Structure 1
Amino acid sequence: MLTFEGLVQDIIQRRGKLGSKEGADSAQDYQEVWSTFGSYVRSCLEQRRGLQLNSFCKIGWTIQKKLGKTAYRPYFHFSDSFIRSYLPEAARKHAASVAGDLCSFEDFNFSKAALKFSKQLTKDQVFTMLRALVQRIGDSIADGREMEIGLSDVGKFVCRSDREPRFIFAQEFHKQEALTPRDASGSALEKAPAAPEKAPEKARGQPSQATTKGLAVAKEAGTIRMDSVPAHAEDVKGFDGGVQRPMGEELPKSASAPGLTALQFKRELAFKEAMDRHIAAMEAHAAEAVAEKDAWDCHVNECLLQERDEIQARKERNHLNLHFLKHQMAMGEQKRKEQRKEDIEAASAHDFPSFSEVHPDEMKDFIKGQQEKVRQALDDQVRTNNTLRNLAKQKDLALELSQLQANREELAMLRKADRGDAEDALNICSKDSKDR
């Protein structure tokens, strides 16, 4: 039969060691997480509320009204997700919800569980290890293994060979309890006998009946103050600040009778003020968390927008690249077609490689024809060479004649220049002789 220790060992073997370097510390962490879950459940049950873990189950009370009294019956039901994932068809029918009025259920708060009901666990540890335990319990139920796992002093999970898992509450939760007032320790209050009329008002630190009724009326009106409560110094001894009183449970109207002492009343007021401070601090933390969440959401949205823009730009680049590649492929195909067309035209310009054998009777005529073709080609070649040679000679002769003409013109120009210089010299000499 599978127990909680075996369950933890299976988790450690399958998922590895979590929470510490040693397997014993990991098992202790799992034990503390399970104890935290049990303490959370018991706290909610004591406050006449239920606890709901969406991935596992709902534990709470069914409300029955008989003869003007309200009685509570323990209630357990696996969550729909757990039933769909792990329970067979027969167990699903067995786990059908019970008809009737149910108490209010509180969603499992991992932060509250880690801070209030554990010693050293964190929110992440509670979430991770509790999820591993729930998954392993579901796998064991689906495999048909027998198990019996206790949940603190609340009850135990039992699964037998018939594969019908159920939760058995402890005996104290099976007693029908009417809705009765409860004191600071969580036990039912009994109406105290009225004080004697001649009793002194301040005897043993107890207020008189009139004073108590006045305080009760003032408390209900919400106008009472801590310094207006008559009390002696010894009345505040053992003041616990409302720690032992279950949270969320208000003082019933029947407790405002003369049986309520000044110490109890001050505890109620102190608890209310402490609760107000706690709620204010939680609201401040919640506002800070909401602001951080909004900032984080804004950052995530900006990152998503940037990622979308980048994806869109990448798509556009890929589209342009695809269009360019298609254009290149089309150009290459057109070029291959044109090249093939040119090759066909070039191949059609001659009869190579068309080889045909000449008939023996036509061999001489073929040879003569070929000789004539060769002779004609040689004659054309000789004629072309002679023509080119004559053209070159004519070009050289024309060049020589033009050069000779240029030389003659240059000599004539030089002679004319010499004659002009001599005449100028004679003119100068004749002018000098006349001057003398």
Structure 2
Amino acid sequence: MLTFDALVQDIIQRRGKLGTKEGADSVQDYHEVWAAFANYVRACMDQRRGLQLSSFCKIGWTMLKKLGKTSYRPYFHFSDAFVRAYLSQEAARKHTGQVPQGDLCAFEDFNFSKAALKFSNQLTKDQVFTMLRALIQRMGENISEGREMDIALGDLGKFVYRSDRDPRFLFAAGFYKEEGVPPPTAEPTVPGAPAFRKEAPQAASLGVRGAQPGAAPTPPRAAQTQPEVMTMPMTQPELQCFEGGAPRAMGEGEMEKSAVPGLTALQFKKEIAFKEAMDRHIAAMEAHAHEAVAEKDAWDSHVSECLLQEREEIQARKERNHMNLHFLKHQMALGEHKRKEQRKDDIEAASAHDFPAFSEVHPDEMKDFVKGQQAKVREALDDQVRTNNTLRNLAKQKDLALELNQLQANREELAMLRNAERAKKAYDKEALATAWNADIRMKNIWKAIDNHSKVAPKGPSKVTLDESLPPSRAGSTVSAGRIMTGSVRRTPLGCSTSMSQLEARSNGKGLY
């Protein structure tokens, strides 16, 4: 029967030591982890609550209410993950079909940090997780292998597994006595052989017996009442099929040539199908075993890396604490030195005067002192007044200079604007006068042309166009851009010239 110590030794042999401790210390760590788990469960149950570990089980209370009174009964149930991984199909169906009597209490999820800090002495969260997982996994593997087990969980009870019954947890009798409820009745023992056991008894009821080719068939037992039996000789390969050899598919002709005493054709086919299914199941188990081994190796490497990182973090924390200690000591030394220097300065400052020793001053000396202080104050006030007046005068001079500069700039700008205006007006005036003169000359020319045929010539002399036209206002028809002067001849002469004057001028008689 497997106990907890044997379970721990098996785990250590399979997985090795998880850390830098020796083998004895590792065993103590496993014991401490299991004790922490038991204390965690006990603390929850004392508070009328339950504890749930998703990879293993749920332990708590069921509440029964009868006639206004509430009674509590201990409750245990394997988790679905544990049932699917390690229990047989029949046991899983039984376990799944169990219905708790009454209402379940509130369940708390298992907290590995809380278990390490509150219910253990020196374990870490990773150690609790790793070791508890290894214990649960090895317990499940022993259950699936059919090894009997009896492992105590503190003073709560014990995990029990027998080959003739399903795994269960038996609570201590003290729980039922404290609550005043009767303990559960023992279930009757049903003999039977679990599936896939190494020491499983032979299936005698099948009546599978082989015979060498050519041998006489053995008649079936009289006690068996079976349908028509096929008495066919069994070949050597087919015998090996049932004795552990590799199965092979047989045709109808081969089945007719072989014979198994006491075995019908339907049973023979069922046995062949069972053997093939068993081989497929074994192959799946081998693949699962390879996956489990790979997962174990990956987990071991992960745990080693985590432990290495944790040791590095602890070392780095120690170094930081050491540096912080040196820095604090240096700060304390600097503070002490500063206090000593300050005390020394205070002593020197206190020694520089005769306080608190007081002496009376003579009245004449007091009067001279007061007069001296008044003279100093008056002189300081006079200096302040002179300084303020000087600053005020400088500011006024600066403002006056700025005003003069601004005034000069304004005058220059106005003169420039006036000159520009005058030049513009003179240019416009000259342009207008030139245009006026040109217009008048053009009109006189047109009048001379129109009246030329009305005047008869009296002599051989000829009048040219230049002699008949009056001169321009400026004295020239070309100087259009000449600036006008203040002459009294502003009105053009040709404006009042009549035809008679033009005719007289053409005859050589002047008007003047």
Q: Give the TM-score taking structure 2 as reference length.
A: 0.34
Q: Indicate the structure with greater helix content.
A: 1
The TM-score with structure 1 as length reference comes to: 0.40
Structure with more relative contact order (C-alpha pairs < 8 Å, separation 6 or more): 1
